[in-house]
Structure 1
Amino acid sequence: MVAAMTALVWLDATAHARRQAGLERVVVARAAEESILDLASNDYLGLSRHPAVIDGACAAVRRWGGGATGSRLVTGTTTAHERVEGDLAEFVGAEAGLVFSSGYTANLGTVTALAGRDSLVISDAASHASLIDACRLSRARVAVARHCDTDHVDELLRERPEHRALVVTDSVFSADGDLAPLAELYAVCRRRNAVLVVDEAHGLGVRGNGGRGAVHEAGLAGAPDLVITATLSKALGSQGGVVLGSAAVRDQVLHGARTFVFDTGLAPASVGAAAAALTVLRGEPDRVHSIGVRAKQLAAAAGVEPTTSAVVPVILGDAQRAVRAAGDCLGLGVRVGCFRPPSVPADGSRLRLTARADLTDSDIDRAASVLAQVLR
């Protein structure tokens, strides 16, 4: 016991350094019912507590039980899984879909199944951590392209010795809320015989006609050599991830993604909730428009330029300052996100506000009052 404690003595110094740099994270439980105005969650469409979504989760639990009971290739696939996979694929204009236990595992599984030692993977410099980890696990040669720089991607693809290549990017970048130049990236990929993998975590339900995503909005729905990954835990208010593409891609990921083959299937409640949320979205497409309206109002309240997504960043620079500002907002009844390194560059710590379709005019007024007090 003493030897084990000695071997981990470095943890104390590491924790102290985190605190000094303003990078300490704390897990804070929220109450089921609270008076705090939430501008930090990714529940963009306001569906996580929608009655139909809750009913969908409950009905799935009553029919299938609390868990999937096994991996998807053993007992973890139900007819509900297959139905929501087909519905999601049809919604975004893809041929087929495959549901994972999370968006993170969907990215890990997709990239590792489509790349390998004989491949090049090019990742945008601002790609999400799940894509970064996927690149590392792929065993491919990895190159990082300058943020949203299609010329750099073209250069990297042109000079590669590998025959196979993947280009991976977020459609909407989670820290800045900016959009990837998907049409231009896809054109480069087609010209250079590469596959484009687009993470629609912050695009599905937020961008495109009826929330069909940024890929659909760019006119690339169903395009060859294009693969979409997404999460069910943001705009759809549930849990889980999905890969969407051709039937051949689905088959390769099903066989080659260790995060699919060896992971327990997505719980029935999450499948039922996601299916119900998709039904609500189809029937109430105006929710998507409401996100954009509220995002512009939040940006005006914070005195920053609006983005073209649900994400409104308020860059403060110093991590300690960002932590204090987020704490001050919470003390005044408004919860905001606080992004610090390594999620953002060293001088890019920020408050991250997220717009939701169910925010009211009074919510916006309340947020504006608090932000004015804190940011001045």
Structure 2
Amino acid sequence: MAAASRPDLQERLAVQTANRERENLLRRVRTIDHADGPWLEIGGKRLLSFCSNDYLGLAQHPQLISALRSAASECGVGSTSAHLISGHRTGHAELEEALAVWTGRERALLFSTGYMANLGVLQALLARGDICVQDKLNHACLLDGAKLSGAELKRYPHADVDAAARQLTCSENAGVLLATDGVFSMDGDVAPLRKLAALCAHENATLMVDDAHGLGVLGSHGAGSVEAAGLNQYDVPVLMATLGKALGCAGAFIAGSHSLIEGLVQFARPYIYTTAMPPALAAAALVGVQLAQADTWRREKLSALIARFRHGAAQLGLTLSSSTTAIQPIVLGDAQAALDAANTLEWRGLLVTAIRPPTVPAGSARLRITLSAAHEEAHIDKLLSALEALHLRPASR
């Protein structure tokens, strides 16, 4: 091919962006000027937010802020190096130990983001010729991790354990890992973890759970969907969760056996070749872990708010998913309908995100409502009143 006939990569990207805008699917960045609990200021407007993942209301907790300030005063801002060079500080080690104890695992390993954690563990565990079986609604980083590993990716219909079983049984001569979200980020429902664990035990497959939206929220001690399902390290050998949602900080971790973590230290490239998270952030996250366990009232309050919202939505005739978690989507189907609804809610002082393809499947654009222990009953009632005024016609599911 002559050089002159090569495609212009930026021009191609511009065409793709224009196509997305024409289909009402263009994403836009919005700058938050100030945050005060569930209240956000954007461009001079004060909005009540229902699109944050701060499920326990810890992101602005004074104890987390104090811990971060104190650690930053003592050891500075950046860790200055990768964990394996000179970036691993006492705060990191203490946080890893606390996370391991909380989740009932032998060890835990910190990553800078959940995306990096999933890429790292899947790339380290899987190789060409192996098979990775995943729920079709898994988060993008699980899918990307499987693709980058070189393993064959097989996807089963959402929460369909029988379909997952068929994919496992036809893979007798390959190493197999089954990966699933614990709580699905766009639908809010919980994976059938007990059935998946039994299936993996029967088929000698490794089960991995991404519990980004379950940690801190589910389980008697807040240890997540795996704890809530009554499963342990042997049932779910690979557990990933994040620090940037219910714990109000940033970062992520993988928890499991000593041999798993030691193997990741040796072979997980996103861990090896990345600067460690700031030690001050680790100190704040450690306080978040402690509060998530001690302040049981946060989960109790969140549960009561979820029940209040679902009861009120039912009285309005709104069709909700089966979610009993903080994620409460209202599926409208059409992307423009979701955008219009979100814009009207914002005009009424509420910030609710319209989620559109390709984040969700085509024809399932939605309002993704998320609740927090930082909300009050009056906030829920304000949201319900605004939703009633929209006269929504949810899509059939």
Same fold? TM cut 0.5: yes
Partner of 1:346: 362
After superposition, the Cα gap between the structure-2 partners of 1:3 and 1:270, relative to the gap in structure 1 and judged at 3 Å, is farther
User: Are the equivalent residues in 1 in contact too, given 2:197–2:235 (CA < 8 A)?
Assistant: no
2:234 equivalent among 188, 201, 223: 223
Q: Distance in 1 between matches of 2:340 and 2:6?
A: 36
Note the residue ranges of structure 1 that are not aligned, 5 or more in a row. none
Q: Distance in 1 between matches of 2:236 and 2:284?
A: 30
Tell me whether 55-64 or 22-31 shows the greater mean CA deviation: 55-64
* 3-state secondary structure, aligned to 1:166: strand
Aligned-residue offset at 1:12: 3.4
Aligned-residue offset at 1:225: 5.5
> Is 1:166 the equivalent of 2:177?
yes
Aligned-residue offset at 1:7: 5.0
User: Are the equivalent residues in 2 in contact too, given 1:124–1:168 (CA < 8 A)?
Assistant: yes
1:363 equivalent among 360, 364, 379: 379
| Segments of 4+ moved more than 6 angstroms | 2-5
After TM superposition, the structure 1 = structure 2 runs for residues 271-286 of structure 1, keeping only pairs within 5 Å, are: 271-286=282-297
Partner of 1:374: 390
Partner of 1:329: 345
CA displacement, residues 306-353 of structure 1 (integer Å, 9 cap, x when unaligned): 622110000010011111111111121111122111111100000000
CA displacement, residues 282-303 of structure 1 (integer Å, 9 cap, x when unaligned): 2211211222221222334443
Aligned-residue offset at 1:21: 0.8
Over the residues paired in the alignment, what is the CA RMSD in angstroms? 1.8
CA displacement, residues 105-136 of structure 1 (integer Å, 9 cap, x when unaligned): 11111111111113111111110001011111
Q: Distance in 2 between matches of 1:3 and 1:145?
A: 41
- The alignment covers a number of residue pairs equal to 375
Partner of 2:395: none
> Is 1:77 the equivalent of 2:93?
no
| One-letter identity of the residue aligned with 2:15 | A
Tell me whether 348-357 or 60-69 shows the greater mean CA deviation: 60-69
After TM superposition, the structure 1 = structure 2 runs for residues 11-90 of structure 1, keeping only pairs within 5 Å, are: 11-33=13-35, 34=41, 35-90=46-101
> Taking structure 1 as the reference length, what is the TM-score of the superposition?
0.95
Tell me whether 150-159 or 7-16 shows the greater mean CA deviation: 7-16
CA displacement, residues 210-258 of structure 1 (integer Å, 9 cap, x when unaligned): 2111101111122256210001000000000100111111011111111
| One-letter identity of the residue aligned with 1:31 | D
1:124 equivalent among 116, 135, 157: 135
> Taking structure 2 as the reference length, what is the TM-score of the superposition?
0.91
Partner of 2:191: 180
Aligned-residue offset at 1:32: 1.3
User: Are the equivalent residues in 1 in contact too, given 2:207–2:235 (CA < 8 A)?
Assistant: no
> Is 1:295 the equivalent of 2:286?
no
Tell me whether 156-165 or 318-327 shows the greater mean CA deviation: 156-165
Aligned-residue offset at 1:62: 1.4
Partner of 1:265: 276
* 3-state secondary structure, aligned to 1:73: helix
Aligned-residue offset at 1:356: 0.4
Q: Distance in 1 between matches of 2:214 and 2:8?
A: 47
Aligned-residue offset at 1:31: 1.5
User: Are the equivalent residues in 2 in contact too, given 1:42–1:235 (CA < 8 A)?
Assistant: yes
| One-letter identity of the residue aligned with 1:154 | A
User: Are the equivalent residues in 2 in contact too, given 1:120–1:162 (CA < 8 A)?
Assistant: no
Partner of 1:241: 252
CA displacement, residues 10-46 of structure 1 (integer Å, 9 cap, x when unaligned): 3333222111111011100012143311100000000
Partner of 2:150: 139
Q: Distance in 2 between matches of 1:339 and 1:375?
A: 19
Q: Distance in 2 between matches of 1:225 and 1:283?
A: 25
| One-letter identity of the residue aligned with 2:125 | L
Tell me whether 162-171 or 190-199 shows the greater mean CA deviation: 162-171
User: Are the equivalent residues in 2 in contact too, given 1:118–1:162 (CA < 8 A)?
Assistant: no
After TM superposition, the structure 1 = structure 2 runs for residues 95-106 of structure 1, keeping only pairs within 5 Å, are: 95-106=106-117
Note the residue ranges of structure 2 that are not aligned, 5 or more in a row. 36-40, 393-397
Q: Distance in 2 between matches of 1:222 and 1:161?
A: 24
* 3-state secondary structure, aligned to 1:46: coil
Partner of 2:325: 309
| One-letter identity of the residue aligned with 1:304 | T
